[in-house]
Amino acid sequence: MTQRCPLAALFVALICSISVVCHAAQPTAEELYTQGMQQYEAGNYTAALELFNRLDPVQLSAEQRVTMYEATQEADIRLRAPADPASILEQAGNERQPARAQALYRQVIANANATAEQKAVAEARLRELDRASQPQLTQMRRRLDDAAVDINAGRYGDAQRKLRSIQESGVDLGWFDNQRVERNLAVIEERMAMAAAPATTEAPVASAQADTPPAPRETTNQVVVTDSQTPQRIEYSEPFVTVTAPEPDAAVSAPPTQDSLAEHMKLYAQEQLALGHQAEGDGNYRLARSHYEKATQMDPSNAEAQAALDRMQAVACSCAAITAA
């Protein structure tokens, strides 16, 4: 009996130590998540999926669960997707789940074998999906385009209210569109100030007469006979009236300057560019291309309009190639 007690105690201690060692060797959900993300970022999608399948998502934070879900979706797509960029584009176009379609389009953009036209198509369709997933962002960008149309039509008050509402919404439109909001507001303030400035009045008549040199006085000679019968010649002046011709209105008669014409052309180009963005967002690439062409014609120095036109031409070529195939 005395010998059995030490043996039993030793056996219990051995079981406990094995349990502790096994528990210590078992990684936590946080550790599996970290290892899985490292494998995913390294491009080892199979290993990443195996690690993700081993953990319990309930033990992760809400943000980690969303990140793991997106990584799982994209890793699964990359493993199943064909290597040919044209086939990937076709698969993405048939995909009904936006997250999977976005992952496929990103794969085309990152594919070294994809042509410039194929990447342009992927970028355009990816922007469409991004707009669809962010309705408020799409609404604010369309409001910005509407404000540009109002400015060109002289409806400065309406345009200013729309631009202010965009700023107050707190929606981040991106660097370029945020700059458009600031520039358009500055243009509105400048034009409203010019419209509110009083018209130049004519100078008083007295001042005009003071600045006008006196006209030469006309004299008439006349003989006057005095008592001494000695004729004397005297001079006297005829009364005269100075008439000042009214000055022409400079604001009316002045022809438009080159600066104002150039500004008008740039504003028209911005309007066409905004309409092109709207048509492109709606998937109407032919109409978008027409607006971009008008924008480049009015303002050849507009790099954004030229880039958009090149993108639409690439999309048209790629779509034609896919249709022919």
**Both 127 and 141 in a single domain?**
no
Residue 212 has what pLDDT?
A: 46
Question: Cα dihedral angle (43, 47, 50, 56), rounded to 10 degrees?
Answer: -70
- CA–CA separation, 311 and 316 (whole Å): 9
Tell me the one-letter amino acid at 48: A
Residue 16 has what pLDDT?
A: 56
**Both 118 and 98 in a single domain?**
yes
**Both 101 and 111 in a single domain?**
yes
Q: What is the CATH number of the domain that holds 309?
A: 1.25.40
In a domain, 185, yes or no: yes
Contact in structure between 77 and 107 (CB atoms under 8 Å) = yes
In a domain, 309, yes or no: yes
In a domain, 5, yes or no: no
In a domain, 163, yes or no: yes
**Both 177 and 87 in a single domain?**
no
**Nearest Cα to Cα of residue 209 among 164, 237, 244, 238:** 244
Residue 199 has what pLDDT?
A: 56
**Both 106 and 149 in a single domain?**
no
Predicted confidence pLDDT, tens digits, the chain (325 residues): 445 555 555 555 556 555 544 445 688 988 999 999 988 887 788 888 889 998 888 888 888 888 898 888 888 877 776 678 888 888 888 887 887 888 888 888 888 888 888 888 888 888 888 777 777 877 888 888 889 888 988 899 999 999 999 999 888 887 778 888 999 999 999 998 888 877 554 444 444 443 444 555 444 444 444 444 555 554 444 444 444 444 544 444 445 566 667 777 777 788 888 888 877 877 788 888 888 898 888 888 888 888 888 888 887 776 665 555 5
In a domain, 308, yes or no: yes
**Both 300 and 153 in a single domain?**
yes
Residue 254 has what pLDDT?
A: 47
Q: State the Cα angle at 100 between 99 and 103, rounded to 5°.
A: 90
Find the domain containing 113 and state its range: 81-133
**Both 185 and 162 in a single domain?**
yes
Predicted TM-score (pTM) of this structure: 0.36
**Both 143 and 116 in a single domain?**
no
In a domain, 241, yes or no: no
- CA–CA separation, 305 and 274 (whole Å): 10
In a domain, 22, yes or no: no
Q: How far apart are the first and last CA of the chain?
A: 88
**Both 177 and 140 in a single domain?**
yes
Pairing type for strands 219-224 and 232-237 reads antiparallel
In a domain, 249, yes or no: no
- CA–CA separation, 304 and 311 (whole Å): 10
Report the SS3 class of residue 231: coil
Contact in structure between 221 and 233 (CB atoms under 8 Å) = yes
Give me the number of domains the chain comprises.
2
Tell me the one-letter amino acid at 126: L
Q: State the Cα angle at 145 between 161 and 158, rounded to 5°.
A: 25
